[in-house]
Amino acid sequence: MSHQESSSLATDQQAIEQLLNRPTLQTTPFTALQTAEDVATILSSDIAGKTVVITGVSPSGIGAEAARVIHKHNPKLLVLASRSTKNIDATITAIGGAGSSNVKGVELDLADLESVRKAAAEILEQTSVVDVLINNAGIMMLPEFQTTRQGVEMQFGTNHLGHFLLTNLLMPALLQSSQGASVVNVSSAGHHAGNVPFEDINFDNGKTYEPFPAYGGSKTANILFTVSLAAKLKSKGLRSFALDPGAVIGTELSRTMSLETKAAMGAWNPDGTPSEKIPWITVAHGASSYIVTGFATSIPEHNGKAFVKNNVDTTVAPYSLDPEGAEKLWVLSEKLVGQEFAY
């Protein structure tokens, strides 16, 4: 490991330690102790009859847990979108949806804008109304610089740009929701690792690429996109929220990170076990904010805000909520996807 890499990881560890136990303001009737199932039981009547789209599902993931509890409460249609049809089928089975007429799968590769357009068209063929869109898919800290099919840095392209295009292509259906749709963008405390690198989204073609700052910029983009959606579409009834699910144990988000990197950041012990210093939570608790932000009718005054532990996160970086930064990101995203979206 180089000196530069060691210094970067030390900074990463400091950021993680500062953020894990950050306070929240009790802004909703829900608490961090409630699981997704607890919340869904309370919001059962708000889930019933809704059409929901979730990206990035895999059997052990947070998105799958959200899908499982949503499916239990009788949605009209639950669409699970993922790059892997194998993961889609396995998730449908895992949540008890095999053979259910109200659970559908759609192949979606967020790192390929043509795949995003095809998936959006397929979803719109299945339904003219989308009540809740949960942009859950994500990748984290790719050790080497990679780009999407269209040549954009992979974390920014997958975590933000693909979701930007998908959301806007589904906007006609979102705006048909009778009670106002919700768009949920899954971010992370990792957004504190950096702002969006607006002037050099590809890190000088990878020459200045570092995994954690690049990941942080993509997660900042998730929050800025939330700010833009709320500002542009609040008058049309759309609600948008970002969320940090927390330090969730048992998912495969960090699968591309080496054990050495995880240990150097303080997240894992050298023997491969999770660090006792991290306040790990279960997938069931991590998915609870998905249900709160997707379905709670008691939180519209927090439109455009970021959530953690089922409440508004009061410690998000100021640059992630900056309206000017949000508009700058919107314009850049339109340029990168080759399509403008005016509302």
- DSSP for 105-160? EEE--TT-HHHHHHHHHHHHHH-S--SEEEE-------SS--B-TTSSBHHHIIII
Task: Look at residue 10 in the predicted model and tell me its pLDDT.
Answer: 38
Set 215, 290, 319, 343: catalytic member: 215
Please, where are the H alpha helices in the chain?
Answer: 3-19, 36-42, 44-47, 62-72, 85-94, 113-126, 154-156, 162-169, 171-174, 211-233, 259-264, 283-286, 288-295, 323-337
Cα distance between the two ends of the chain: 49
Q: Answer yes or no: 319 catalytic.
A: no
β-pairing, 77-82 with 103-107?
parallel
Whole-number Å distance between alpha carbons of 300 and 181: 11
Whole-number Å distance between alpha carbons of 86 and 285: 26
Task: Look at residue 172 in the predicted model and tell me its pLDDT.
Answer: 98
* Digitized pLDDT (tens) for each residue of the chain, 343 residues in all: 433 433 333 344 444 444 445 556 678 899 888 999 999 999 999 999 999 999 999 888 999 999 999 999 999 999 999 999 999 999 999 999 999 999 999 999 999 999 999 999 999 999 999 999 999 999 988 999 999 999 999 999 999 999 999 999 999 999 999 999 999 999 998 899 999 999 999 999 999 999 999 999 999 999 999 999 999 999 999 999 999 997 655 555 455 555 566 555 556 567 666 666 666 678 898 999 999 999 999 898 999 999 998 999 999 999 999 999 999 999 999 999 999 999 9
Task: Look at residue 259 in the predicted model and tell me its pLDDT.
Answer: 55
User: Which CATH architecture is the domain 24-247+282-337 placed in?
Assistant: 3-Layer(aba) Sandwich (3.40)
Which residues are paired to 51 by β-bridges? 77
Structural domain spans, the chain = 24-247+282-337
Task: Look at residue 6 in the predicted model and tell me its pLDDT.
Answer: 37
Q: What is the DSSP track for 219-250? A: HHHHHHHHHHHHHHHGGGT-EEEEEE--SBTT
Q: Is 118:127 a contact under the CB 8 Å cutoff?
A: no
